[in-house]
Structures are given as structure tokens and as C-alpha cells.
Amino acid sequence: MENVEVSKKNKSSRLKLFLIITFIVIPMVVLSLIYINNMTFKLKVNKLLAKLPGAAGEYFKYSPTEAERDDKKEYLANHYLSLDSAIAADKLYIIKKDDEKLYSEIIRLMNSTSTSKASEIIKLVRNIELRKDLLFSIHDEIQQEKKNQFLDEISRLESQDLLVTIKEIENRVEEDNQFKQNLSDVFTFINEDRATDILYYIAEDIKEDILYSLSDAKRTKLESKLSDKKIQQTKLYDLSGLYQVKPVEEVLDEIGNTNKYSMEELGLIYKNLSILKSAEILSNIEDDTFIEELFNSIRREEELIGEEAFITNEISKSIQFITEYNRKIEDLVNIYNKMSPDKVAKIVEKMMGNNTTVTALEINSEPVFEISDASIIVDVLSKMRNKTLSSIMDYISTENASKLTQLLARP
């Protein structure tokens, strides 16, 4: 029963909607179109609506007739013809922008009165339009040039040496206020890895200003990348500590080439090793190109963090010292291998009793590698064949043999 009632109500509602559309909405649309396009009908309707009470009637009562409109247009046409052509063109340009139809009607009336004056004014209006178009064209061209210049600058900052880019930014921030204001745009569009490297090494106050000027999303991305870079560098610093205490023979395979680490990473590792340890490792490497590239990497890191004293000079001097010392040790090994064990034993006994420094490697005026007779003979014996060494030990006193055993067993 309830469903039947609901169905009846729905049918009734649809019928009412149909009647409203058919007898009210559609006729109103049709009448509106006739009102707009048929002037006679419009005048009759206006006259009828003028009888309405209140403001509505007043509005239609005083609404201008078509004849009145034509009179006003003719008045305007004559007025513009009476003005200086340039002034008239300026005023008509404004009308044309707002109402193309009204402009055309005024020009038609001007033509009917003075074709020559109207033609002159029309040309001036067209010139104004061309000038306006040119103005916008020039404006757009300038904006595009600025955009291209900006993108070229971004490309240059990305491609040139990192240190050069950092120094340029630091200097221009101090001298060029406009550049300083545009930094947020620069770091919005520059490659994020490049931006991270710049921000990692640039002056702290400038870094903070740049990050503060960026959008929240961009700042969060760059801060995350900066954190990752710091963690990676800390790991490399920690590795330096491990390699510092390992024997040279063990670390050569890992940091004596670029199989495990990039040259940039090796630069950070060697920079944090002691100068003597670096020299001991590198004195065993015959690849001069590898050493040269490594030194460049170390110096680059020193420059980026602002260190003025380059350790590569000290490492190079230490390599020469250690290389020369090792060559002389090899020469002594060859000589002693040809001598009888008993004669070598006498030399060993004598040299072991002398711990006086005969020469030393100094770094920053401090001796870091001191050489005595005792240290020389231990280094020589450590490189001799086991069979030859055993024969020599047979002729050495028990006390010195015990000392030698301990010294030779050291890593």
C-alpha cells in the first residue's frame, strides 16, 4: 500500500516538473531571445514593463529607445571627428577593446560624415594596436631572455668546478644583493646532488640563509641529502682509523686501488690517515697516475673545507724517504745473503747494541720515523730467507737471539 502511494507521488512530481518546463521555462527562454534580437518587440515590452510599480517600472520607463541610442552614437561620431586625430584614436582604441560592435557602429557613422578623417583615425587606432602588440611581444621576449640567462647560469653553476662555484656564490652574496635574493630560485632548480655538495661545504651562515629561503618540501629534501652525505663521510673517517692500525700488506688490496672505493672516497680516507701511514702504503704502489689522482682528491677536500696546509707535500716527502730507505735495506739483504752466517752474526751483534738515531724522517719539524743501527738490522733480517736467517741465528748469543725473535715477530 505504501509503495503505491510513493509511486503516485513520484508520478505527480514528474508531471509538475514537465508542466513547469513546458509552460514556464521554455516560453521564458524564447521570449528572452526575441526580446534581445527584435527591437520592436523590445520597445513594446519596455513600454508595458514601465507600468510596473516602484523601481522596476522606473527603470523600464527611462530605458533609452533605439532612436535615442542612435542619436548618442551619432553624437559620439561627430565628437571624435572634431577632435585631433591622435586623441580621437586613443579614445576609440579604448572603446574597441571593450565593445567591438559599438566601435564599428561609430566608425560607420564617422565614415558617412568624413571618409578621409575617419580613415586617418582608423590607421592611428591600428598603429596603437600594433604598438601594444609589440610592447607585449618585447615584454615576453625580455622575460624569455631572462629565463634563458637564468637557466644558463644554473647550467654553469652545475658544470664548473665545485670549489669555483662555492667561491662565486660566497663572493656574489656579499657584493650582489639581487643575486642573494635569487638564491632560492637557483637552489630550487639546480641539480639536487650538486646543491647538496655546495651546501655541505659553503659558509654556514650562507647555507642557513639558503635553506631558510626554500619551500618546505625542497628544504626537507636537501636537508635529508646533507644528512646522508655527513653519515657517509663519518663512515670514511671511521675506516681511516681501522686502516691506520692494520699492516700495510693487508690494506694495499683495499685502498691501494679504486676497486673498492672511488677516488673521492680514497681522498677522504687518506686525508685522515697519519702522514707516515699514508707514505708507507703509497711507497708500495708503482702506479704514479693513481698516486697523482689521489693527491688531487686529497687537496680538493682540503680546499673545500678551507685548510691551508696541504698534507700531500708531506706525504710525498715521506714516500721518497721510505722508498729510499727500503731500497737500501734490499741492497743490504742481497749483500748479507752472499756472506757467511757467522760474519753476518757478528755484524748483527754489533748493530743491535746501538739504538742511537742515525737519521730520521721529520714531519712539521717532529721526528716520526727514526732509524738506528738496531732498527736497520731488524728490517734487514725480516726480509731474509728463513733458512739463511736460521743459520745466522745459530751464531748469535742467546740473549740477542731472544730479542731478535721478539722484534721480528712484531707486525
Which is more confidently placed, 334 or 34? 334
**pTM of the entire structure?**
0.59
Using one digit for the tens of pLDDT, what is the confidence trace for 44-62? 555 565 555 655 555 545 5
Residue 24 has what pLDDT?
A: 66
Supply the pLDDT for residue 262. Answer: 94
137: which 3 cell numbers?
611581444
| Confidence category of residue 22, pLDDT binned at 50, 70, 90 | low
Residue 9 has what pLDDT?
59
- Does residue 238 have a pLDDT over 90? yes
Residue 123: the pLDDT is 86
Query: 366 forms bridges with which residues in the sheet?
Result: 363
Owner of C-alpha cell 568624413: 114
Per residue in 212-228, pLDDT tens? 989 999 999 999 999 99
Lowest mean pLDDT among 60-69, 76-85, 297-306, 382-391: 60-69
Q: How many C-beta atoms lie closer than 10 Å to residue 1's C-beta? A: 5
Which has the closest alpha carbon to 258: 233, 287, 230?
Answer: 287
**237-241, 260-264, 374-378: range with lowest mean pLDDT:** 374-378
Instruction: Provide, for the chain, the percentages of residues in helix, strand and coil under a 3-state DSSP scheme, each rounded to the nearest 5.
Output: 80, 5, 15
- Residue 201 pLDDT: 93
The helix-helix angle for 39-49 and 26-37 (nearest 10°) equals 110
* Cβ-based neighbours of 255, under 8 Å, separated by 6 or more: 243, 261, 266, 269, 270, 281
What secondary structure does DSSP assign to 141-204, as a single string? HHHHHHHHHHHHHHHHHHHS-HHHHHHHHHHHHHH-HHHHHHHHHHHHHS-HHHHHHHHHHS-H
Judging by beta carbons within 10 Å of its beta carbon (0-12, 13-18, 19+), is residue 172 exposed, middle or buried?
middle
- Return the percentage of the chain with pLDDT > 90, whole number: 30
pLDDT tens, position by position, 168-204: 999 988 888 888 888 888 898 899 999 999 999 999 9
Cα(47)–Cα(49) distance, rounded to whole angstroms?
A: 6
DSSP, res 78:
H
pLDDT of residue 233: 93
- By CB neighbour count within 10 A (0-12 exposed, 13-18 middle, 19+ buried), where does 399 fall? exposed
